[in-house]
Amino acid sequence: MSSFRYLVVGGGMTGDAACRGIRDHDPEGTIGVFAAEEHPPYARPPLSKALWAGKDESMIWRGTAELGADVRTGRRIVALDLDARTATDDAGEGHSYERLLLATGSVPRHLPGAGDNVIHFRTLDDFRRLHALASEGARAVVVGGGFIGSEIAAALASNGCAVTMVFPEDGIGARLFPPALSAFVNGYYREKGVEVVAGALVQSISGTVGGFGIETDGGSSFEADAVVAGLGVVPATELAEAAGLPVDDGVLVDEYGRAGGREDVFAAGDVARFPVPALGGTRRVEHEDHANTHGRVVGANMAGAATPYDHLPFFYSDLFDLGYEAVGDVDARLATVEEWPEPNRKGVVGYVDGEGRARGFLLWDVWGKVDAARKLIRSGATLDSSSVSALLD
């Protein structure tokens, strides 16, 4: 049995960030990182952005081992004994620890009935498979109109593929963007040559790579060389549940990242549901900034820092030449206060609750204003058009 002071379950961005947080406070304690993928921790955003714009794959590696962490790739932790402070991996090897971090992330939702030849896009291996299929003129069907669907459709079209997007909402990004903006994005993608099939569910997929047949519930059919899906993710909570930790759409943690009221068990990143006093209640966030920031704070707390996490994480996306940053609750179901100096091209959308308080901001081609937006959210003040306009200065 190997023995670690810190055992990190999960080799994603959160796991890497946690190692950095640990090292901020403990330069020497042994760290074991167990990564189910065959790769050490890497940055995920380039898989749907920079690597399609000519950047070299070497840019993604995080260099976790350079922190003195023992990174075991291709090893999945399959059981925990919290009382004995031991973990067992899928090779049957046991490991003891003093502090445990669950950074197991999330797993992509699968399209019902889809086989392995459909790429449910999330990992470096998924990127490599899709990139190899994305030759000039290749036909691709992209299922899903959220983050992965919109970024991958743009990436494939920009690389000369003939792209069809199929998703159930009325518009691209419809869960985030106000309806008029989402409708504009549909038109923008069509101008870029993407066939946008909104309001449709995929009913069946036949064939395989190089000769797929896809049918929708509306009776449309498409042929494709590759099918890629981004249908959302579910938090990977099985280990935590089996170990008896409280789980409710994520492992429930306190402001320090501690789970189950224990001093020696933590969770961070996609898999953790954490308190957000600025917005009320708890949230689970599946974006890069949160993975990095929560991972680092919770890692530091594993090493005794006692720092509460009160960060409001931001996220960003590029949709061809359109781009934005966003923070807080960016939810199309909320009422909005909007200012658009250039309609659909440059503007700010403030999302408000029933009392008119700012809960989130979409900063559309507006840069460097995330901190100011955070201040408006934290202030709890009623949001008016002058404070939204101030974000455009």
Q: Kindly list the residues in this chain that would bind ligand NAD in the complex (CB under 6 A).
A: 48, 111, 143-149, 151, 167-169, 201-202, 230-233, 286-287, 315-317
Rounded to a whole number of angstroms, the minimum distance from the CB of residue 366 to ligand NAD is 16
Nearer to ligand NAD, 25 or 129 (CB): 129
Rounded to a whole number of angstroms, the minimum distance from the CB of residue 355 to ligand NAD is 27
Name the residue with tokens 């781009």. 323
The Cα–Cα gap between 163 and 86 comes to: 48
Rounded to a whole number of angstroms, the minimum distance from the CB of residue 184 to ligand NAD is 17
The Cα–Cα gap between 360 and 372 comes to: 12
Nearer to ligand NAD, 284 or 357 (CB): 284
Would you state the structure tokens that stand for residue 130, as one six-digit string? Answer: 């899709």
> Which helix H or strand E contains 271, and what residues bound it?
none
Rounded to a whole number of angstroms, the minimum distance from the CB of residue 151 to ligand NAD is 5
Q: What are residue 147's phi and psi, to 5 degrees?
A: -65, -55
Nearer to ligand NAD, 98 or 169 (CB): 169
Rounded to a whole number of angstroms, the minimum distance from the CB of residue 293 to ligand NAD is 14
The DSSP annotation for 26-86 comes to -SSS-EEEEESSSS--B-SGGGTTGGGTT--GGGGB--GGGGTEEEEET--EEEEETTTTE
CB 235 within 8 A of CB 271: yes
Rounded to a whole number of angstroms, the minimum distance from the CB of residue 290 to ligand NAD is 10
Nearer to ligand NAD, 100 or 202 (CB): 202
Residue of this chain nearest to ligand NAD (CB atom): 146
Distances (CA, A) of 247 to 150, 243, 280: 30, 11, 19
Nearer to ligand NAD, 60 or 233 (CB): 233
* CA 302 distance to own-chain centroid: 23
Name the residue with tokens 């498409």. 222
Nearer to ligand NAD, 26 or 286 (CB): 286
CB 60 within 8 A of CB 288: no
